[in-house]
Amino acid sequence: MKKLLLGTTALAAAGLLAMPMPKAMAADQPIQVKVGGGFWGFMTGVSQKSGSAVSASGTTEYYPGHDKTNRELWDKSWVSFKGLGKFDNGISAGVSITLRGNQPSAAQYTGTLQTAGIVGEAMGFLNLAQYGRVEIGSTAGAARKMWYGAVTPLRYAHGWNSPNTIQPGGDNPLNQPTTLIDMGNADRAEKINYFTPRVGGFQLGVSYAPNNCQFNNQAFTYGDQNNGIPGGSASGSASGSCLFFGNTPAKNLAGEQNDIIEAGLNYVGKFNGVDLGAYAGLGHASLAAQPSTNNNMRDLEEYGAGANLGYQGFQLGVSFRYSNQGNKFGPATNTAGAGITSISIPEIAPTNRWDVSAGLTYHTGPWQVGGSYSYAQDTEHCSGVVASTTFNGGTCAVGSTASIGKDKLNAFALGANYALGPGVNLNGGIEYEKFDYFDSNPLGTNRTWVYMVGTAIYF
């Protein structure tokens, strides 16, 4: 059962002050560094609704798959450097640095030098024996590292809860389902993590990140931390990088989520031949300032839980996550429905998102096969519309803040892995997605079949 590990805070600092200084290692015993990495290469294809039709309002509208390229070859590669050294008193110290290839950035599309996305992880850590573990740097937070949840046979090419691959499926505004606590994709933000020792099968982890920014590497804009959903326009100066302490990004940057805190608790045990891993996690971030064009953002909050059961080659996993997406209403863009004459509906927006996943796999010899299911939804709201607007599912009146419906995604996957040898795997499968817009407009729905096949190689 695969485990991802955890977190940090002032509690660790207090423990360090009370400890004796470690004895120096011998001069010929420096931290030993090992080099590793991997490569994923896959072919994916999508079949989804395309073309156009005339809506009930008499306007020509396009299906979600209109004018989309539905075949692609993609790859992901990385090189990791991991170092570890041990002191005479049982304390150990180390580093973990990962360099990633083929990482997109905003600069890639503007003709300027591509610099963002090169360093995937860069952290140092101290294993403090009976005092736990401290990490500092650009790494995932405690809630994500302590996660247990839904398994998937498509762990390389896809996977509902994978932080490593994007959604390869059809067009849908909900994007990839996930039950991981991501706090606006803050897994690469500079943070400090602390994890307690495991006692009676239980372990606790906590994390703190001042902002969602990777130091001296990642461009920063006002929408970066709002789970990818800008809460409104900001001033032209509301952007920058993490390069200068005390300078940028600005303290009151519109839409920025600061002081990101995560906590995770998990349990690992074995009962009558059954392996059990269970987890609960949560996160909170504080909104720096409201965007200039609306007053509809709020502090970002997420929480979730999950469990794995393993027995004689079978592995069953279930998990869920809730996110308020950092907004109360806020602007969004939706496909028009009956009675709507404009594609852009700036007064309708999603809030209160739920993701639920379940999966079952079976492993025997070099083979692993299985299936998984995922469901995601968010609630669409009216937000003080300028004029009354009628949807298939209801009406947005002037000044209304009522719920008018839900975006929903149901997805199923079947797949298999075959180990050719140590570190070399073949992976393939199929996936079906059914997406429905909040206003039940047939032109806004999408039905998608996805296939993927490829290889994962590790060294």
User: How far is residue 358's CA from residue 179's CA, in Å, rounded to a whole number?
Assistant: 10
Residue 82's closest CA among 38, 40, 47, 35?
A: 35
Q: What is residue 172's predicted lDDT score, i.e. its pLDDT?
A: 72
- The DSSP annotation for 4-46 comes to ------HHHHHHHHTSPPPPPPPTT---EEEEEEEEEEEEEEE
User: How far is residue 277's CA from residue 289's CA, in Å, rounded to a whole number?
Assistant: 39
User: How far is residue 83's CA from residue 124's CA, in Å, rounded to a whole number?
Assistant: 9
In the chain, how many H helices and how many E strands?
2, 22
- For 124-157, the three-class secondary structure string (H helix, E strand, C coil) is EEEECHHHCEEEEEECCCHHHHCCCCCCCCCCCC
Phi-psi category of residue 236: left, alpha or beta, with phi > 0 → left and psi -120 to 50 → alpha: alpha
> What domains, with CATH codes, occur in the chain?
10-14+33-458 (2.40.160.10)
Q: What is residue 437's predicted lDDT score, i.e. its pLDDT?
A: 77
Q: What is residue 200's predicted lDDT score, i.e. its pLDDT?
A: 94
Q: What is residue 440's predicted lDDT score, i.e. its pLDDT?
A: 61
Place of tokens 């389902």: 177
pLDDT tens for the chain, residues 1 to 459: 433 333 333 333 333 333 344 444 443 457 888 999 999 888 888 888 777 776 666 667 777 777 777 788 888 889 999 999 988 888 899 999 998 876 544 333 333 333 445 777 889 999 998 899 999 998 999 999 999 999 887 766 566 776 555 555 566 777 778 899 988 778 778 899 999 999 999 999 999 998 876 654 444 443 333 333 333 333 333 344 454 444 445 566 667 788 999 999 999 999 999 999 999 999 999 887 776 555 667 889 999 999 999 999 999 999 999 998 887 654 433 333 433 333 334 445 667 889 999 999 999 999 999 999 999 998 876 655 555 666 555 566 665 666 667 888 898 999 999 999 999 999 999 989 888 877 666 666 788 888 889 999 999
User: How far is residue 55's CA from residue 205's CA, in Å, rounded to a whole number?
Assistant: 52
| Cα dist from 181 to 250, 308, 349, whole Å | 25, 17, 21
Residue 406's closest CA among 336, 328, 348, 357?
A: 348
Residue 276's closest CA among 242, 243, 306, 241?
A: 306
* CA 316 to mean position of chain CA atoms: 21
| Helix (H), strand (E) at residue 353 | strand 348-364
